[in-house]
């Protein structure tokens, strides 16, 4: 995650929980380096009522990352203790590190009427869907693996060996894209951001087919 302030922006909630609205989860997944952070940075300031879920991780911070904004950086020992205490809404091991979403954080924001944007991997998405079946799931694709390699190199936070590892993982992750409700290719940032905004705004409409209960 290269852009520290990208994910934390949220607008003030106009009608908090007093309006009786319960928020909704929007799950974003993509192979590392595809551009999730870049896209989140673009869309969050344009969305009312949306909070970014700051994950917990045992991986060390990258240069420029800020604890509490990009991630909550915690030790392996603390993370495992929180697994035992059933603290996580979902968690997964990605590239030898733990990543997780706090159930309390999610439930607090949902109860306050916020929608929440989660940047999590495929395993995390599966857990969220089984716990919150109304969640909207979006997979972001790189235009090609060659483009993905260039983006990882451009980001400059990984050694060559780590980039090869990430590309192998990307192939496995891309194979799971049809488990998601929506697939967006991040070819040009602004185009992909507009598509992402459209998916989110459309899913928020009460007459969106996915929000209807069918009586047959």
Contact positions vs ligand 5GP (CB under 6 A): 1, 29, 32, 55, 59, 90, 92, 94, 99-101, 119-121, 123-124
**C-beta separation of 188 from 195 below 8 A:** no
Q: Does 36 contact ligand ADP by CB under 6 A?
A: yes
Beta partners for 50? Answer: 115
Question: Closest residue to ligand 5GP, Cβ-based?
Answer: 124
C-alpha distances (whole Å) from 63 to each of 2, 3, 151, 177 are: 8, 10, 17, 30
In residues, how long is the chain? 216
CA–CA separation, 200 vs 194, rounded Å? 10
Strand pairing report for 182-185 and 136-141: parallel
Q: Does 24 contact ligand ADP by CB under 6 A?
A: no
CB of 73 to ligand ADP, least distance (A): 17
Q: Does 163 contact ligand ADP by CB under 6 A?
A: no
Q: Which stretch binds ligand ADP (CB under 6 A): 47-55, 102-110, 149-157, 172-180?
A: 149-157
CB of 163 to ligand ADP, least distance (A): 12
**C-beta separation of 115 from 24 below 8 A:** yes
- Whose Cβ is closer to ligand ADP: residue 62's or residue 204's? 62
Give burial (CB, 10 Å; 0-12/13-18/19+) of 214: exposed
- Whose Cβ is closer to ligand ADP: residue 30's or residue 128's? 30
Q: Which stretch binds ligand ADP (CB under 6 A): 35-43, 101-109, 195-203, 206-214?
A: 35-43
């Amino acid at each position: 995650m290269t852009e520290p302030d990208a994910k934390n922006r949220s607008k003030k909630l106009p009608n908090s929980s007093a309006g009786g609205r319960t928020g909704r989860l929007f799950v974003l997944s993509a192979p590392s380096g595809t551009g999730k952070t870049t896209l989140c940075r673009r869309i969050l300031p344009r969305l009312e009522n949306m909070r970014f879920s700051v994950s917990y991780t045992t991986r060390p911070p990258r240069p420029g990352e800020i604890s509490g904004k990009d991630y909550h950086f915690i030790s392996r020992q603390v993370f495992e203790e929180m697994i035992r205490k059933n603290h996580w809404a979902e968690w997964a091991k990605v590239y030898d590190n733990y990543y997780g979403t706090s159930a309390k954080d999610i439930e607090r924001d949902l109860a306050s009427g916020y929608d929440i944007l989660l940047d999590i991997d495929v395993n995390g998405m599966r857990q969220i869907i089984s716990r919150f079946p109304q969640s909207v799931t979006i997979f972001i694709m790189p235009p090609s693996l060659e483009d993905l390699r260039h983006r990882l190199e451009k980001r400059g936070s990984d050694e060559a060996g780590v980039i090869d590892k990430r590309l192998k993982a990307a192939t496995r992750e891309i194979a799971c894209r049809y488990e998601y409700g929506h697939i967006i290719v991040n070819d040009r940032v602004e185009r992909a951001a507009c598509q992402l905004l459209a998916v989110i705004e459309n899913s928020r409409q009460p007459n969106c087919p996915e929000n209807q209960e069918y009586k047959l």
